[in-house]
């Protein structure tokens, strides 16, 4: 018959398991207080193991998402200790996390009221954070910052990106300006020694450098999508560059309607579709990445728009191609402009210590600490004065310079949602299913519905 399990035995087992669970629950509750870094992500306090905090020590929590081991070391070993030295009475609790889970973490933290004091945020975040009321207004703090901190040192586009209705809600710490990249070897083959500076130049060179064999393209003259972004956004990224340089806008200044149907915006799309569908300088979709490398580093396209990524990729994964991959300043059409991605620090509106949080934020974005942080990560800063910093390669210096011409996203809370019909319609446009004007009209209708 079935083995007898007496009640006593069962209780004992159950108690044992329950006790184990209880011990686990009470005992270990997360945050380490030693300065040990646990691999790629983790949480540490930057102060070496101190014996108990004084009653007046105030803790500030800082969530960092742009990092690598060198950055972590820079923060823990020099940047944060420097802050502690200059501001005794504060203790910074660092937390490193990743972009892939950052949205979930921030959202749940804030809805639960247990958010950090200062946190990094990405390109479309300002509109959302302000709309939700999670970002603390910072204009008054900026106004009172010491002279050498210098708000005017920041690129105009970067400053614009963090300002809503005249109020500053975040401080940029990193920018990724988009600009034109080209392969000098492809251009030289066709006798071009300088890269294009206008749309017409671009078109001319693209048509000259494209290679076809038996009716299909074997080497692109221009690539509208070199990766490095969520794939679903596709060609939209490059479109923004051309829209800016045509003087067009996605939304009206008061964010009340979609202005894609205006001439400048349509013109930008017409130019791109002409390149793709008439001149056929690239297939659609364009050549995809292979492993870490995009078509540019692989030598499969002569030109393309991108932020600083090609330089990093080519040096790390294809150093033999490094001599041929170059950046140049953005193209000029109605104006010289391209898109600017801005990453910024927010102060939480739920913080218990706004003054302390601002002090830390001010420190992190001051010239020297910011340079240390960016050098460790290979990031470009939003400060014009750091455009020639030593850690930058030639290409990166060019891209940094492009930051002056960078135009950021409009500060609307529903941007991500609006991008979706836009990228869908762009896809249909590049497949020849919609004319540029139709694309813009349909998109404007969809976007207006979301406003």
Partner 1 sequence: MAHDADPDLPHRRHPRFTPMTLVRLAVALLAFMWAVPLGWMGLMSITPDAEIFSSGILPSEVSLAHYRSAWTDIHMLGLLANSAIVSIAAIAGQVFLAAMAGYAFARLRFPGRNLIFGVLLITMMVPFEVLVIPLFLAIQKIPLLGGNDLFGNGGIGAVNSHFGLMLPNLITVYGVFLFRQMFLGFPRELEEASIVDGASRARFFWSILFPNAKPVVITMGMLAFMWSWNDFLWPLIIARDSDMFTVQIGLSSFNEQYGTRWGPLMAGSVLATVPVIGAFLLAQRWILGSFLRSGLKG
Partner 2 sequence: MISPATRVTEGGARGLSYLHRIWEREWFSAYRFLLLPIALLALIKVYPFAYNFFLSVTDGGFQDEVSFAGVEHFRELIDDRTIRNATFNTFYLTALVVPIGTAVSLFVAVVVNDRFRGRAGVRLGFVLPMVTSVVVGAMVWDLIYLPRGGLLNTILASHGTDWLQTPDLAMPAVALVILWSSIGLNLLVFLAALQDISPDLLGAAEIDGATRFQQFQHVTLPGIRHSLLFVVATLTITVFRSFGVIYVLTQGGPVQRTNTLVWESYLNAFGYLRFNRAAALSVVMVVIILIITVVYFRMLRSVD
Residue numbers of the site for partner 2 (CB under 8 A)?
Answer: 103-104, 107, 110-113, 128, 131-133, 230-232, 234, 285, 288, 290-291, 350, 413-414, 416-417, 420-421, 423-424, 427, 446
Cβ atoms of 338 and 179 closer than 8 Å: yes
Rank residues 104 and 438 by Cβ distance to partner 1 and give the closer one.
104
Q: Which two tokens stand for residue 343?
A: 């990453």
Rank residues 100 and 213 by Cβ distance to partner 1 and give the closer one.
100
Minimum distance from CB of 440 to partner 2 (Å)?
Answer: 17
Task: Give φ, ψ of 130 to 5 degrees.
Answer: -70, -45
30 contacts partner 1 (rule: CB under 8 A):
yes
Q: Which two tokens stand for residue 305?
A: 């728009």
Distance CA 57, CA 397 (A): 41
Q: Which does 55 bind (CB under 5 to 8 A by kind): partner 2, partner 1, none?
A: none
Distance CA 42, CA 32 (A): 9
Please classify residue 82 by burial: count the beta carbons closer than 10 Å to its beta carbon, then call 0-12 exposed, 13-18 middle and 19+ buried. Answer: middle
Q: Which two tokens stand for residue 36?
A: 């040990």
Rank residues 218 and 316 by Cβ distance to partner 1 and give the closer one.
316
Minimum distance from CB of 327 to partner 1 (Å)?
Answer: 17
Q: Which does 4 bind (CB under 5 to 8 A by kind): partner 2, partner 1, none?
A: partner 1
* Binders in 211-270 for partner 1, by CB under 8 A: 228
Cβ atoms of 118 and 63 closer than 8 Å: yes
Minimum distance from CB of 269 to partner 1 (Å)?
Answer: 27
32 contacts partner 1 (rule: CB under 8 A):
yes
Rank residues 85 and 100 by Cβ distance to partner 1 and give the closer one.
100
Stretch that binds partner 1, among 39-47, 137-145, 171-179, 442-450 (CB under 8 A): 39-47
Q: How many of the chain's residues bind partner 1 (CB under 8 A)? A: 49
Q: How many CA atoms lie within 13 A of 178 on its CB side?
A: 29
55 contacts partner 1 (rule: CB under 8 A):
no
Minimum distance from CB of 414 to partner 1 (Å)?
Answer: 20
Minimum distance from CB of 24 to partner 1 (Å)?
Answer: 4
The total of other beta-carbon atoms located within 10 Å of residue 445's CB is 13
Stretch that binds partner 1, among 195-203, 306-314, 403-411, 442-450 (CB under 8 A): 306-314
Quickly list DSSP for 162-223. Answer: TEETTEE--EEEEEEE-EEEEEHHHHHHTT--S---BHHHHHHHHHHH-EEETTEEEEBS-B
Rank residues 54 and 283 by Cβ distance to partner 2 and give the closer one.
283
* Binders in 177-216 for partner 1, by CB under 8 A: none
Q: Where are the beta strands (DSSP E) in 388-430?
A: 406-407
17 contacts partner 1 (rule: CB under 8 A):
yes
Rank residues 63 and 155 by Cβ distance to partner 2 and give the closer one.
63
Rank residues 323 and 438 by Cβ distance to partner 2 and give the closer one.
438
Q: Which does 257 bind (CB under 5 to 8 A by kind): partner 2, partner 1, none?
A: none
Q: What is the DSSP letter of 152?
A: G
Q: Which does 414 bind (CB under 5 to 8 A by kind): partner 1, partner 2, none?
A: partner 2
Please classify residue 197 by burial: count the beta carbons closer than 10 Å to its beta carbon, then call 0-12 exposed, 13-18 middle and 19+ buried. Answer: middle
Q: Which does 292 bind (CB under 5 to 8 A by kind): partner 1, partner 2, none?
A: partner 1
Distance CA 203, CA 201 (A): 5
Q: For partner 1, what does the binding mask look like between residues 88 and 117, x meaning CB under 8 A?
A: -------xx-xxxx--xx-xx--xxxx---
**Coil, strand, or helix at residue 21?**
helix
Rank residues 137 and 156 by Cβ distance to partner 2 and give the closer one.
137
Distance CA 234, CA 138 (A): 34
- Whose structure tokens read 């067009």? 248
* Maximum Cα interatomic distance, the chain, rounded to a whole number of Å: 92
Minimum distance from CB of 1 to partner 1 (Å)?
Answer: 7
Distance CA 294, CA 225 (A): 9
Minimum distance from CB of 290 to partner 1 (Å)?
Answer: 6
Minimum distance from CB of 388 to partner 1 (Å)?
Answer: 25
Residues 6+ apart with CB under 8 A from 42: 32, 36, 95, 96
Q: How many CA atoms lie within 13 A of 278 on its CB side?
A: 9
Kindly list the residues in this chain that would bind partner 1 in the complex (CB under 8 A): 1-7, 10-11, 14, 17-18, 20-21, 24-26, 28-32, 38-43, 95-96, 98-101, 104-105, 107-108, 111-114, 228, 290-292, 309, 312-313
């Amino acid at each position: 018959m079935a083995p007898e399990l007496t009640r006593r035995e069962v209780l004992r087992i159950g108690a044992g398991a329950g006790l184990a669970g209880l011990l686990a629950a009470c005992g270990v509750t997360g945050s380490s207080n030693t300065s040990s870094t646990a691999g790629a992500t983790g949480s540490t306090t930057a102060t070496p193991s101190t014996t108990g905090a004084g009653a007046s020590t105030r803790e500030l929590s800082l969530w960092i998402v742009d990092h690598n081991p060198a950055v972590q070391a820079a923060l823990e070993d020099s940047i944060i200790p420097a802050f502690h030295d200059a501001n005794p009475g504060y203790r910074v609790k660092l937390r490193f996390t990743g972009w892939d889970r950052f949205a979930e973490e921030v959202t749940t933290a804030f809805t639960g009221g247990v958010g950090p004091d200062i946190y990094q945020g990405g390109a479309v975040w300002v509109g959302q954070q302000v709309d939700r009321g999670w970002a603390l207004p910072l204009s008054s703090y900026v106004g009172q910052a010491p002279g050498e901190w210098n708000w005017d040192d920041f690129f105009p586009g970067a400053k614009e990106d963090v300002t809503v209705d005249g109020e500053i809600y975040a401080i940029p710490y990193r920018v990724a300006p988009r600009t034109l990249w080209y392969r000098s070897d492809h251009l030289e083959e066709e006798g071009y020694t300088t890269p294009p500076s206008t749309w017409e130049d671009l078109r001319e060179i693209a048509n000259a450098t494209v290679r076809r064999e038996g009716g299909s393209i074997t080497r692109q003259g221009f690539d509208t999508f070199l990766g490095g972004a969520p794939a679903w956004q596709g060609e939209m990224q490059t479109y923004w560059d051309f829209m800016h340089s045509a003087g067009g806008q996605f939304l009206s200044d008061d964010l009340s309607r979609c202005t894609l149907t205006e001439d400048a915006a349509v013109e930008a799309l017409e130019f791109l579709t002409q390149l793709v569908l008439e001149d056929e300088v690239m297939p659609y979709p364009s050549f995809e990445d292979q492993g870490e490398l995009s078509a540019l580093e692989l030598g499969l396209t002569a030109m393309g728009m991108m932020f600083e990524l090609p330089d990093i990729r080519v040096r790390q994964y294809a150093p033999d191609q490094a001599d041929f991959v170059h950046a140049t300043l953005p193209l000029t059409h109605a104006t010289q402009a391209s898109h600017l991605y801005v990453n910024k620090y927010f102060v939480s509106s739920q913080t218990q210590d706004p003054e302390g949080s601002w002090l830390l934020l001010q420190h992190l974005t001051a010239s020297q600490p910011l340079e240390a942080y960016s050098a460790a990560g290979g990031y470009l800063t939003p400060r014009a004065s750091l455009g020639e910093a030593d850690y930058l390669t030639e290409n990166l210096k060019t891209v940094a310079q492009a930051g002056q011409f960078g135009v950021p996203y409009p500060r609307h809370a529903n941007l991500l949602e609006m991008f979706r019909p836009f990228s869908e319609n762009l896809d249909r446009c590049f497949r020849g299913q919609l004319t540029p004007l139709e694309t813009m009209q349909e998109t404007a209708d969809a976007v207006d519905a979301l406003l």
